Amino acid sequence: MSDPVEAEQLNPEAFREFLERSRSGDDGPVVMLNLLAMKPDGGMEKYMEYGAAVAPILEGVGGKMIFSGTGSSALIGSSRDWDLVLLVRYPSRAAFLGMIGSPEYQAIAHLRTEALTYSELHPLAAGD
């Protein structure tokens, strides 16, 4: 089983790019692709607790979950099997950063970490 630190390992270069884009004049809507692998004993339940706690915070910054589903094996390529896949839309990268930096979010963030063995978070911008 992975350690909680690995489940939430930040990619410094990608985060720096995300920050730069949030500060630019081109900070339009962003959809965050969440790929989540749960701990086997109680991870999904803990994540549902996190989901209930984060919902009003998400709504407060203008965010909205637009898809939630179970993962499956990759048809092309080799990847891990994900227990849960989420798409969450934010009005901007700045809104996402404001949410995760808020005291309300910081008070519940441990629930997400406690639920996961591994996760990936990919910001997606609409194409032309």
Pair of tokens at residue 29: 């809507």
Quickly list DSSP for 78-111.
--PPPSEEEEEEES-HHHHHHHHHSHHHHHHHHH
What's this model's pTM, rounded to 2 decimal places?
A: 0.85
Name the amino acid, one letter, at 74. A
In which element (H, E) is residue 46 found? helix 43-60
CA distance 74 to 72: 6
User: Which CATH code, of 3.30.70.100, 1.10.3720.10, 3.10.330.20, 1.20.120.1230, is assigned to 4-11+27-73+80-124?
Assistant: 3.30.70.100
What is the per-residue pLDDT for 1?
42
Phi-psi region of 14 (alpha: psi -120 to 50; beta: other; left: phi over 0): alpha
- Cα–Cα distances in Å, from 105 out to 22, 35, 61, 74, 93? 19, 20, 11, 32, 16
Q: Give residue limits of the domains in the chain.
A: 4-11+27-73+80-124
Mean pLDDT by 10 residues, the chain (128 residues): 58 85 81 95 97 98 96 82 95 94 97 94 81
